[in-house]
């Protein structure tokens, strides 16, 4: 039986490069997963528990939120602004139509 010769220095160098690349890719994947977890852990919006809509509001077509308020756009061309802490109606804004 003959002993197999040591691999050429170029092959040994390529094995080291592949091992380093594999480690780098694994570390990068762990960093990306950690960033997703950190990013999506932030608290969501502060919505009121309930909103009592006026009876003449009609159907709600859009919702938006600011600091301390929630606005609902009603089908009847008006914007209803509610307090986000209590859910009380703060303001009604009529939209003028052309």
pLDDT at residue number 30: 97
**Residue 94 phi, psi (nearest 5):** -85, 135
Say what the pTM is. Answer: 0.54
- Cα(73)–Cα(78) distance, integer angstroms: 6
Contact predicate 70/82, CB 8 Å: yes
Whole-angstrom CA distances from 66 to 4, 56, 83, 85, 93 are 73, 24, 10, 12, 16
Give the pLDDT confidence of 10-48 residue by residue, as tens digits: 888 999 999 999 999 999 999 999 999 888 876 766 777
């Amino acid at each position: 039986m003959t002993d197999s010769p040591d691999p050429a220095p170029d092959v040994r160098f390529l094995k080291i490069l592949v091992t380093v690349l594999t480690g780098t890719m694994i570390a990068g994947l762990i960093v990306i997963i950690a960033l997703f977890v950190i990013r999506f852990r932030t608290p969501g919006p502060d919505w009121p528990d309930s909103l009592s809509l006026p009876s003449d509001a009609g159907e709600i077509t859009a919702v938006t939120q600011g600091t301390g308020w929630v606005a609902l756009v009603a089908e009847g061309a008006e914007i209803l602004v509610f307090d986000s802490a209590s859910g009380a109606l703060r303001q009604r804004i009529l939209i003028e139509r052309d």
